[in-house]
Amino acid sequence: MTPSLVEPVTADRLLPLNARQQLPPLVLMFGNNKGGTGKSLTVVQIAAALARAGFYVLVVDMDPQGNATRRLGIEQDPEEPIAGTPEVIAANTKGAGEGATYQCGWTVSDDDLTPSAEAKLIDVIPSRPDLINRETETGLPGAALRLKKALSGEWINKYDVVLIDSQPDLGHLVQLSIVAADQVVLVTDAMRDGVEAAFRVDDYVTNYGEDLGNPNVHVSGVVVNRWRRTSEGKFYVENWLKPRFGDRLWNLRKTELQEEIVDGKKQTKEEELQAAWIPEWARLSEADGAGVSLTRWTDARGRETLGIFDTIVERYLAPMLQERARA
Ligand SMILES: Nc1ncnc2c1ncn2[C@@H]1O[C@H](COP(=O)(O)OP(=O)(O)OP(=O)(O)O)[C@@H](O)[C@H]1O
Ligand SMILES: [Mg+2]
């Protein structure tokens, strides 16, 4: 493992936001009705990119698998688990989230165990497998409101953004997250099952948001992940995702005009610097596996991977946050 970049938080890269004026945070839930599309990866890497941009983030792990929890450097000891979403949901009280909030466990390096620059701006409400037991409460009056209640109160206003990771179904835990969210972001691959499952979540949010007591919740973004430039991938992006979601597809493409001499004549051509969609790159699963920040890798691929998620923040999330701060 290479040493950490230990980059300072680059708050100066973005316009002065100052969302930390006691505004309620923007609450985004990440979902898909298919497993393995990269919901947890996207939540973790967007949390990191938001932190690099100077935003204060709370990640709420609503998946009993606890993948986001572990990838953010918090290892649950089954013998002595720390409180997290299982307790927060069981509590059924306003502000219950505050007592189960921990700093992201990312460190500067394997030798220097002080919190990394990103970790200082990422807090986590961790999960555990027994979060699934909360499913039994689904029929109780007001059960769907429990996460929203837990994330209420003055304390939550110190965060700019809350990111909720979810499991790949449409059951009670996912409903709790939809009720607590301002907006939903879908994470899909560009293959039939993933795309259809993303459509199901979109339909679910549209059809049941009001019934769940959250009439304004809507799908505001769609992340295409595991991109491999295959004709199948292009087919599902062009014929399924673009017609349905249009501008809600988060397009990350970056290009540069290059000059070249062809037959003695100067010509300009567009060079792609970054693909529109998140590529399938081993570096991403490697970081997930190790439970460390992508900033630990200082090579060119490391900078490219960071750039993908920085683009999501710069193009889509920072403008949303600035808009809210102005409103
Ligand atoms: N773009 C990518 N490139 C390489 N590996 C990826 C990419 N996206 C996801 N992965 C890897 O694929 C696996 C599944 O991703 P992840 O766990 O984030 O998906 P998920 O949608 O959260 O799954 P689940 O539905 O089980 O919660 C993980 O090992 C992750 O590191
Ligand atoms: Mg997951």
| Tokens describing residue 117 | 């620059």
Rounded Cα distance between 272 and 230, Å, is 17
Mutate to test the pocket of ligand 1, among 34, 40, 41, 301 (most ligand atoms within 8 A of CB): 41
Q: Does the beta carbon of 194 lie inside 6 Å of ligand 1?
A: no
pTM of the model: 0.93
- The reported pLDDT for the residue numbered 11 is 42
Q: Which ligand is nearest to the CA of 71?
A: 1
% of the chain residues with pLDDT over 90: 87
Average pLDDT over residues 302-322: 96
Which amino acid is present at 155? W
Q: Ligand 2 is a single-atom ion; what residues have CB below 5 A from it?
A: 39-40, 67
Q: For residue 252, is pLDDT > 60?
A: yes
Cβ-count burial 59-96 (b if 16+ within 10 Å, e if not): bbbbbbbbbbbbbbbbebeeeeeebbbbbbbbbeeebb
- The reported pLDDT for the residue numbered 260 is 87
The pLDDT-based confidence of 262 (bands split at 50, 70, 90) is: confident
Residues 181-196 pLDDT 10s: 999 999 999 999 999 9
Rounded Cα distance between 159 and 24, Å, is 8
- Return the axis-axis angle of helices 300-312 and 282-290, rounded to nearest 10°: 90
Q: Does the beta carbon of 284 lie inside 6 Å of ligand 1?
A: yes
Average pLDDT over residues 194-205: 98
Rounded Cα distance between 278 and 256, Å, is 19
Rounded Cα distance between 155 and 24, Å, is 10
Q: Which atom of ligand 1 is nearest to the CA of 63?
A: 27
User: Around Cβ 15, how many Cβ atoms within 10 Å?
Assistant: 9
Residues 6+ apart with CB under 8 A from 79: none
Q: For residue 82, is pLDDT > 60?
A: yes
Domains, the chain, in order of start with CATH, read: 3-326 (3.40.50.300)
The pLDDT-based confidence of 23 (bands split at 50, 70, 90) is: confident
Q: For residue 81, is pLDDT > 60?
A: yes
